[in-house]
Structure 1
Amino acid sequence: MQTTWEYLAPLLQGAILTIEITILSLFAAFLLSLIVGIARFSKIKAVRFCMALYVEIFRGTSLLVQLFWLYFALPMLFDFRMSAFTVAIIALGLNYGAYGSEVVRSAIMAIPKGQTEAGIALNMTPWQRLRYIILPQAFVMMLPSFGNLQIELLKGTSLVYLITLSDLTYQGMILRSYDISKATFIFFMLLLIYFIMAQAMTLGIRALERKTSKGRL
């Protein structure tokens, strides 16, 4: 009979991989969110169209299908294969970057028009207005929504085991297949570990919210 540690050790190993995927894909999603969200206000119609098309495609299709397409279909079409780890980061980054870009766009639109007009009156360039006036205020408004998105992204990593990655969910499924009598314990541990990771992320975003809201109403 296996001890509790013998069950817990592979789950923790899978949790480490889950955390690595989450952090890297969060960075990719946040970067894409900013780029696409800002580009949606471009004066070039073609740029706005391309950004809107990207958002609609990745919001309108399943993350699972995107993972399968990048990992299985892409090599068949173009004879180009990426590692499962790379595919997971790209797919999660693209998917949640599409949702995040709408958060950025909404936050920028919420900035009073007078702020931009004040920057124009001060003879600031569009980049200076964006950097010093718009984004600092918009960032505070983005935080709660980005906090929700990062939790959703963490939960979305549970799909990457379907492209052969030994993440937390994969380790749980393997352990369950070895000893079906321990399925309840294994899935309880999965639930607990995911909950702990989600709570850590929630506390982090709340601390950031408190820090950035100092001196603001």
Structure 2
Amino acid sequence: MENFEASVGYGWYILTGAWATVQLTVFSCAVALVIAMVTGVAMTRNSHLLRLVARFYVEFFRGTSVFVQLFAAYFVLPLIGITLSPIQAGVLALGLNGGAYGSEVVRAAINAVGRDQREATIALNLTGWQALWWVILPQAVVLMLPSFGNLAIEIMKGTAVASLITVSELTFQAQTVRSQTGDTAIPFLLIMVTYLAMASLMMSFVRWLEKRFGRGITSEST
């Protein structure tokens, strides 16, 4: 009985880390989405400078380890007067890293919109930005959603690296229980199930968005 109560207590302790994981996931995805949209659009513009800056950002954050980016956010930024909490450092690193990968998704989706759509915007005498906002992006978003869903799940799984800077998320809590009890199987089995449940919820939400946005595009085109 005592072992059962202890197991329940440790299980609950591990699950309390889910809130930190959710926070990291939501805020990191928000940062990644904003950066991906801005950078992805910049890579499709005619400005050579915009494309150059966007490409440098993408190659830098895709070409360096998220571990290094996390440590830089938490340990290096204070050297120049920018001190972040562990959660803030985790959100910054994961958001910037995810945004670099998301930028390519945005760029590819925009370029995938049919040439006839672009020609129609010229016929309507729309400016480049009006065409992007009112015609190109609404269609591109539908193409982006599956890849953005996968990226969100990768960011969610990547939140485990935040345990390295003492963020009390799922992995950190499981490691704490393992060090205190010597039990490895139950703590990590529990967080595996929790990650799977969170990923399933996220993909269900993305599929709903696909249907919702897809319906809107279909109704507009008929």
**Could you state the TM-score of these two structures normalised by the residue count of structure 1?**
0.95
1:40 aligns with 2:43: yes
Q: 2:100 aligns with which of 90, 95, 98?
A: 98
Could you list the structure 1 runs, at least 4 aligned residues long, displaced by more than 4 angstroms after superposition. none
Q: Could you tell me which residue of structure 1 aligns to residue 140 of structure 2? A: 138
Structure 1 residues 1-217: aligned runs within 5 Å: 1=3, 2-76=5-79, 78-180=80-182, 182-214=183-215, 216=218
Structure 1 pair 213/42, CA: closer, same or farther in 2 (3 Å)?
A: closer
One-letter amino acid of the counterpart of residue 200, structure 1: L
For residues 91-119 of structure 1, the C-alpha deviation after alignment (integer angstroms, 9 at most, x for no partner) is 11100000001000000000112211111
Q: Counterpart amino acid of 2:133?
A: R
> Number of aligned pairs?
215
CA distance in 2, matches of 1:179, 1:210: 46
CA deviations on 1:182-214 (whole Å, 9 max, x unpaired) are 321111101111111111111111111122222
Give the unaligned 5+ runs of structure 1. none
Superposed CA deviations along residues 26-71 of structure 1, whole A, max 9, x for unmatched, are 0110111100000112222111111100000000111111001111
* Identical positions, percent: 43
Query: Root-mean-square deviation (CA), in Å?
Result: 1.4
* Structure-2 separation of matches of 1:104 and 1:118: 21
Q: Which moved more, 1:66-75 or 1:165-174?
A: 66-75
Question: SS state of the match for residue 84, structure 2?
Answer: coil
Q: How many Å apart are 1:128 and its aligned residue?
A: 1.5
- Structure 2 unaligned segments of length 5 or more: list them: none
User: What TM-score, normalized to structure 2?
Assistant: 0.93
